[in-house]
Amino acid sequence: MEWRDQGILLNVRRHGETSAIIDMFTEEHGRHAGVVRGGTSRKIAPILQPGAQLDVTWRARLEDHIGSFTVEPLRSRAAAVMGSRLALAGLNAVSGLLLFCLPEREAHRGLYRRTEQLMDLLGQDDLWPLAYLRWEMALLEEVGFGLDFSACAVTGATEGLEFVSPRTGRAVSREGAGEWLDRLLPLPECLLGRGGAPDEQILQGFELTGYFLREKLAQEMHKPLPEARQRFVDRFSRSVVPR
Amino acid sequence: MSSTRDIDALIEMMAKLPGLGPRSARRAVLHLIRKRALLLSPLADLMVQVAATARECLNCGNVGTSDICDICASEKRANGELCVVEDVADLWAMERAGVFKGRYHVLGGTLSALDAVGPEELRIPKLIDRVATENVSEVILALNATVDGQTTAHYIADQLEGAVRLTSLAQGVPIGGELDYLDDGTISAALNARKDI
C-alpha cells in the first residue's frame, strides 16, 4: 500500500528512541497516523512541529497497518506562532478539536481546505479569531451538528434573527422566541455576515459554538472537549478585556 | 537449567536502556564480564548505592542523592535568577554550559491537552510558590523551541505576569550552523531576533 498527499501535522508522539508517530490531516485521506523513522533526529524534529504543512508518502504492507510516513516540509508555521500567545493557543485548539472529533482515514475535503486557509492566517491576530469562529461552524457542520441561520425555525422569517435554539441549532427571531426567550442562545450578528465583527460578538460566537461542541459533539463522543479550546477562548477574552 | 541464565537476564535488562539494543547490550555485558574487577563490580556497587539514595529534589525537581539538591542548597546560587527547564536532562545541559549561576526549576514535561498533561501534572504550582517565597527577581523560561514547549512557556508567563521579570531564551542560528541547512522556522526566528553589530 502506498499513497502520497499533502496535509497538516496535528500531533507528534515519540515512538521508541528515534521514531515518532504523527497524526496528519490530509486532503484525500483525512486524519491519518503513521510512523516517521528517525522522527526525533535533529534533522527531522524541527520539521515535525504541529501546524506544519507537509508532503507525505505513506507506506504499509497492509492497509490496516499503522504504516510509515516519509515527510517533506512545504511550509513551517511554527515560527509564525511561537511569539504570539493567541496564535499558539489557536493552533492548539484547532489541532485538539480535529484530533478529538475526526474519525481516522475518512476524507473531509471541505473541512481540510478551510483548515489550511485558517492555518495560513495564523499570526494575523486581527483576522484570526473570526476566521477561527467560522471554522468551528464548519467543523460542527462536518460532524453533523451544523447550525442553520437561514430563517427563523418558528416563523420562517429571514429578518430579525437574534437567537439560536440550543436543541436544533436553528436561528430564531425575537417574534418567534415567545416564552422560550430565556432558554435561547444569543446569535451574534457577525455570524449572519452583517456589519463588522467586534471582539465582543466573536466572544459571543465562541459561547454559541462552544455550547454545541460541548453539549452535542462531546456528549456524542462520550469524552470532554480538549482543554486547548477553552484555553484559546480564555486567551482571546483576556485580550479583549485586559486584566 | 541454562548456565547463562543470569547473564541472559542482565543482557535483557541492559537492552532496555536508551541507546542499546539486544546486540549492543550483549557486547556491553561481555565487556563488563571481561573487566569484572575494573568495571562490573564497581558498577554494580554504584548502582545499588544510587538505587538506594537517588531522589528528586523537593524544591526544584533535579535528581540528586539528598532531599534538597546541591544547587538549591548553595547560597552562591541564590542570586534571584530562576531558570525553568522541561526536564533534568535540560538542567544538566545548562550546567554543562557553565554560564548560568542561578537556580533551576524542573517542570517534568510540557502541557499537552492531547496527552492530558495539565498544570497540576507539572510542577507549575510549586514554581508559582517558589517565585512568591524565594525572593526571585527573574524567571528565565528555558523551554524547548517546540509548539508544546512554547505553549507551556506562555501559560507560565500568564500565571506569573506582573509578579516577576520574565525572559525566554533567544531562538536562531546555532553556533556552527550553516544557513543552507536550517529549516524555514529557524531562519525566520533568527531574522526576527536580529541585532546590531
* Neighbouring C-beta atoms of residue B54, cutoff 10 Å: 10
B22 Cβ under 8 Å from any chain A Cβ: no
Distance CA A78, CA B147 (A): 7
A chain contacts of residue B171, beta-carbon cutoff 8 Å: 82
Q: What three-state secondary structure class fits A31? A: strand
B142-157 per-position pLDDT tens digit: 999 888 899 999 999 9
What confidence score (pLDDT) does residue B2 get? 63
* Cell triple for A29: 485521506
Distance CA B32, CA B40 (A): 5
Query: Which chain B residue's Cα is nearest to A75?
Result: B184
Query: Which chain B residue's Cα is nearest to A10?
Result: B114
- DSSP letters spanning B53-97: H-EE-TTT--EESSSS-HHHH-GGG-SSEEEEESSHHHHHHHHHH
Residue that the C-alpha cell 461542541 belongs to: A213
User: Please, what's the b/e burial string for B93-131 (b: 16 or more CB within 10 A of its CB; e: otherwise)?
Assistant: ebeeeeebebbbbbbbebbbbbeebebeebbbebbeebb
- DSSP letters spanning chain B: --TTHHHHHHHHHHTTSTT--HHHHHHHHHHHHHTIIIIIHHHHHHHHHHHHH-EE-TTT--EESSSS-HHHH-GGG-SSEEEEESSHHHHHHHHHHT---SEEEE-SS--BTTTTB-TTTTTHHHHHHHHHHTT--EEEE---SSHHHHHHHHHHHHHHTTTSEEEE---SPPTT--GGGS-HHHHHHHHHT----
Under DSSP, the state recorded for A218 is I
Closest CB from A17, A96, A231 relative to B114: A96
B183 Cβ under 8 Å from any chain A Cβ: yes
What confidence score (pLDDT) does residue A243 get? 46
Q: Which residues of chain B have pLDDT under 50?
A: none
Identity of the residue numbered B44: A
What confidence score (pLDDT) does residue A201 get? 93
3-state helix, strand, coil in chain A (%, to 5): 40, 25, 35
What confidence score (pLDDT) does residue B131 get? 94
Distance CA B12, CA B7 (A): 9
What global pTM score does this model have? 0.85
Residue A88, φ and ψ in degrees, nearest 5: -65, -45
Secondary structure element (H or E) that encloses residue A94, with its range = helix A85-101
Q: Are B157 and A85 an interchain contact pair (Cβ–Cβ within 8 Å)?
A: yes
B135 Cβ under 8 Å from any chain A Cβ: no
Distance CA B10, CA B25 (A): 9
**Which residues, at least 6 apart from A168, have a Cβ–Cβ distance to it below 8 Å?**
A148, A153
B chain contacts of residue A13, beta-carbon cutoff 8 Å: 115
B chain contacts of residue A80, beta-carbon cutoff 8 Å: 188
Q: Are B154 and A88 an interchain contact pair (Cβ–Cβ within 8 Å)?
A: yes
Q: Are A47 and B183 an interchain contact pair (Cβ–Cβ within 8 Å)?
A: yes
**Which residues, at least 6 apart from B177, have a Cβ–Cβ distance to it below 8 Å?**
none
Q: Which residues of chain A have pLDDT under 50?
A: 243
Distance CA B41, CA B160 (A): 49
Among candidates B91, B29, B37, B30, which has minimal Cα distance to B64?
B91
